[in-house]
Structure formats: C-alpha cells, structure tokens
Amino acid sequence: QVPLKPGRSLMDWIRLTKSGKDLAGLKGRLIEVTEDELAKHNKKEDCWICIRGLVYNVTPYMEYHPGGEDELMKAAGMDGTDLFDQVHRWVNYESMLKECLVGRIALKPVAVPKETSISEKKKQLNGMLPEKKLLGASAKDLTPSYDWFQTDGLITIVLYTKQKDMNTELVIVDCQDKRLRGEIIMNDHSYVLEVDLDHAVEEDFVVNIAEKIGKVEIILKKKDNIHWKMLGQPLESHNTFIKCKNRGLFYRKCKLVSKTEVTHDTKLFRFLLPKSTHLQVPTGQHVYLKQIIAGTEVVKPYTPVLPFLLLDFQETSCHDGANIYLMIKIYSCGLFTQALDHLRIGDYISISNPEGNFKKSQVQALEDLFLLAAGTGFTPMVKVLNFVLTEVSSLRTAKLIFFNKTEDDILWRNQLEQLALRDERFEVQFVLSEPTKDWVGKQGRISSSLLSGFMKRSRKDSKVLICICGPTAFTEQGVQCLKDLGYSQEEMHAFTA
C-alpha cells in the first residue's frame, strides 16, 4: 500500500463512480477491443487494462489505487489478469470498475487443435480459456470422482478423493435451497461438485470423512419421501478440479450474534454460519467479508480467532464449528469497519471460504515458536498459539512479542498474562511505540537488536518457527531483521493477504 492523496480514498472513488461522469470515456458505448488497440493505451494519462477478458479504462482510477500508480502501470495496455490475481484476487474489480468498462477483448479466431501444448495455450489471453482445458495430465489423474445413491429418506453423495490425509477442514459444503455445492481442497487444488438438486432437501445435512482412504460422504435428508430420478442439473463449476488460486470465492450469509468490546477500538464479533453450511476455518487462514457500501460491493480479509485463549483444541473444533469469531479494529475513518460496526445483532453479512498459505506441517516437531505481532496482526497468532500448546508435544517454548502503540491498545492482555502464568512454556513480551511515562516495559519499534535480545532458542539448532503479522511495512521490516539475524526462509512465516 502507498499513502493516497487526500480525497482519494475508496469512499471517494465510490462517490466518483456514482457521479454520472463518463469514466470509461466512450459516452456509454461498449466496444470490442483488439489486442493491438489495447496496447496503444499504455500511458498514465490513457491507460487500459484487460482483466479476464474485459477491458477497463483505469486512467481515472490511478490516484485511487491503494497499491499505487506504478503497480497499476505494470499492466498498462496488457492483460493484467495474472498480476491482478497475484496481488488481490479477492478485490471485486467488476463492481469497483464497472463505470470504467470499455468493452470485451476481441478474440482472435484461433483454430485450436485437439491437443494444444501448454505453451501455445499461454499465447492466448489469460482468463479466456475454459479453466478445465488448462489441466495438466498429472492433475487429471488426481481428479476426485463421485457417486450417489438414495434410500427412502436420504440422498448420499460419495466423493472419492484418493487423498490419504483428508480431514474436515478440507471439506466445505453449502446447500442453499436446492443448490448444493461441495468443495474439497487437495493441496493447492480444489475440486467442486455443484448441482441444482432434483428435489428439495432439509437444511441440515451430515458430512462423514474417512480420513485414511480419502472418502467423503454428504448425506442429505429428503424433504419429501419420493424417489429421485437423478441427483440434479450440473451447475457452472460442477465437477471441476482446478488450482485454488483460480477458484472464485464462494460466500454464504452469516448472522451476527454478538459483539463485545476487546479494547477502546477493537471488538470481538461472533458470526453464526447457516445450518446448511459445513465449514471450519483452518489455523492460520483468513476469510473475506463482503458488504454493499454505497451501492458497491466491498470485500476485506479477516482472520478468525477463538472466543478466548487456550481452549482445548479438540473441544473447539468439535463444538464450535458453527461460529466464526473475528477480532476487528474499528477505524474512525475506515470504510469497511465503520459499516461493520453499524451492523446490528441479527443482521447478516457474507463470509467467504477460507484462504491462506499457513500449513500445520510447519509446526510439526517444532521446539521453539516466536510470534511477532503488531496491532491486529495478533489475530492469526491466536489459533497458532492454541494449536501448538495443545497439539505439538515437542514444543519447549512459545514466545509472543506484541507491538502496540499504547497499553490501551494491547489485545487480550489479561488473558495473555494469565496464560503465561498457567503454562510455563509460554511467555509474552509487550513493546510499545507510544507509551506513557509510567510504562516500565520495553519500548520502540521492531529491530534486529530488539529481536535478538528476546528470541532465545531453547537449545542450539532447535527446530524453530517465527510467525510475523502486522501492517505490511512492519512485516517486511521484521522479515528483513530476521534475515539479518541469520534465520532461514523456512524458519519464518509472514501472514499476508
């Protein structure tokens, strides 16, 4: 993120898009754009970008882009789909840039032979090919298969994934009205079964997972006791197996059931997943929340926490799967958090499937864990800490170094101090950047010297992991400090979008 000029916030952009100004510059027409034409619009004052086959005139958006003009210019006059996906796949540009739409990219009439090589395919504009065709041979072999059968009252769908370590966090099922969507995460791939069911089913259903053989069963209850001739009509994503990063986000509406104060500006929101959803957010992953603000869809990521520290891990996953707890700082001029704060108990908000690249395998056989958190960068640390303290028997020390401006900003201070008293492996160190004169603890910002003083291994060459999360600049600086201190890439995990 770069600092934006005053009057160039997201809200200002939304206002501009509603002003009736001709932002695309084509007086309301939509045109077909050839690649040659697209290439001509490659300057700051005349900049067109193609995303998934649609061409946008982003010139008026330049100053509003949170990533800065230079970042946007990297895709000037080109297909920016890849670049866009790398940086912010989740931003709903369709809604944000709809007033800038110039038209569709003109497809060259290419005669595609039956077996095109990947390199030939890449020559075509990204995002224009049906995703299924991009599957490599190896991915095809791993594609799960499914089958279904029925009894008088039940419909059972069986998915065979051939993946040995299948578990409940890897299976996400939603059944809204007659629309059933089941997603299975298999390493970096996602398999989706999506059908418009033949007949109505009850809201709740059962998901059984045979972890060792990778078999997943979805058992639906028929609403009416009738014989189904077929499972239903396949929907758009049905039976697709693609890279997770190419799968669009799927949302369901969740109810706000409580909101409690954590500090003067941070609240713990508890959202209830619908009965018709099976979803558990894995440790270290985040979800996206979506709201319509001033007529525009706005999406922001948040990292679920636990209702409080140190729950028995098994207990949490069994009994609390239906709730998503989010610890969110409300910014006085924040677009999304202000709208969130105005939600009333009982209101609904859209929450997406989880995402993120933290893997539990990173803490396997771990001996020393260091957590470097700044502000709400504490949120991913909650589940990581809970997981290692309850599940990783090799763990000797877990230390949180928590950076905040003032004492009043420290999240769950009491709980952290209690935990340190209860569990001798855990230690917490608060560091303040704007302390009052009464503060006797550590002060300052993240630096190599500060870290080297705090991060002591339990033994030489112990297996160590350092997690870091906070404002982007904090995280970047922290990673640099750790490199300077001699830690390897494998020994660090930076939480980012």
Q: Residue 276 or 303: which CB sits closer to ligand FAD?
A: 303
Sign of CA dihedral 73, 77, 78, 80: positive
User: Which of ligand NAP, ligand FAD, none has residue 296 at its interface (CB below 5 to 8 Å by kind)?
Assistant: none
Query: Per rule CB under 6 A, is residue 121 in the interface with ligand NAP?
Result: no
Sign of the dihedral defined by the CA atoms of residues 443, 445, 447, 451, in that order? positive
What is the DSSP code string of 94-141?
HHHTGGGEEEEEPPP-----SS--HHHHHHSPTT-S-GGGG--HHHHH
Asked if 402 interacts with ligand NAP (CB under 6 A), we say no
Name the residue nearer to ligand FAD (CB basis): 154 or 497: 497
Q: Determine the residue with CB nearest ligand FAD.
A: 334
Q: Which residue lies nearer to ligand NAP by CB, 144 or 304? A: 304
Among 273, 328, 467, 482, binds ligand FAD (CB under 6 A): 328
Q: For 242-271, give the DSSP string.
A: EEGGGSPP-EEEEEEEEEEESSSSEEEEEE
Instruction: Report 264-293 residues binding ligand FAD (CB under 6 A).
Output: 286
Please give the backbone phi and psi of residue 356, each rounded to the nearest 5 degrees, phi first. Answer: 140, 155
According to the binding rule CB under 6 A, does residue 357 interact with ligand FAD? no
d(CA 322, CA 254) in angstroms, rounded, equals 10
Burial class (CB in 10 A: 0-12, 13-18, 19+), 19: exposed
**Nearer to ligand FAD among residue 6 and residue 136 (C-beta):** 6
Cβ-contact 18, 11 below 8 angstroms: no
Q: Please, what is the minimum distance in Å from the beta carbon of residue 1 to ligand NAP?
A: 8
DSSP one-letter string for 235-246: -TTTTEEEEGGG
Could you give the dihedral angle defined by the CA atoms of residues 258, 264, 266 and 267, in that order, rounded to the nearest 10 degrees?
0
CB of 330 to ligand NAP, least distance (A): 10
- Select 223 or 445, whichever has its Cβ closest to ligand NAP: 445
Stretch that binds ligand NAP, among 10-18, 20-28, 215-223, 404-412 (CB under 6 A): 404-412
278 or 383: CB nearest ligand NAP: 383
Burial class of residue 340, CB neighbours in 10 A (0-12, 13-18, 19+): buried
| Interface stretch with ligand NAP, choices 85-93, 198-206, 362-370, 373-381 (CB under 6 A) | 373-381
* Look-up of token digits 């490659």: 42
Contact 155, 230 (CB under 8 A): no
R_g (Cα) of the chain, nearest Å: 25
- Name the segment binding ligand FAD (CB under 6 A); options: 323-331, 366-374, 394-402, 450-458: 323-331
The bridge status of strand 266-272 relative to strand 323-329 is: antiparallel
Torsion, CA 411, CA 415, CA 416, CA 422, rounded to 10: 180
Q: Residue 446 binds which entry of ligand NAP, ligand FAD, none, with Cβ cut-offs from 5 to 8 Å by kind?
A: ligand NAP
Q: Site for ligand NAP (CB under 6 A): how many residues?
A: 26
Q: CB of 64: closest distance to ligand NAP in angstroms?
A: 18
Tell me the one-letter amino acid at 376. T
Using the contact rule CB under 6 A, the part of the chain among 82-90, 143-151, 325-333, 476-484 near ligand FAD is 325-333
User: Does 303 engage in binding with ligand FAD (CB under 6 A)?
Assistant: yes
Q: Give the HSE-up count for residue 403: Cα atoms under 13 Å, Cβ half-sphere.
A: 20
Which of the choices ligand NAP, ligand FAD, none does residue 146 contact, using the CB cut-off of 5 to 8 A by kind?
A: none
Choose among ligand FAD, ligand NAP, none what residue 333 binds, the Cβ cut-off being 5 to 8 Å by kind.
ligand FAD
Instruction: Note whether 229 and 218 are within 8 A (CB).
Output: no
The only residue of 31, 82, 122, 331 in contact with ligand FAD, by rule CB under 6 A: 331
Instruction: Work out what residue 334 binds among ligand FAD, ligand NAP, none; the CB cut-off runs from 5 to 8 Å by kind.
Output: ligand FAD
Binding positions for ligand NAP, rule: CB under 6 A: 286, 303, 329, 374-377, 379-380, 403-405, 409, 433-434, 445-446, 469-471, 473-474, 477, 495-497
Q: Which positions lie near ligand FAD, rule CB under 6 A?
A: 1, 3-4, 10, 66, 286, 300-303, 326-329, 331, 333-337, 376, 379, 497
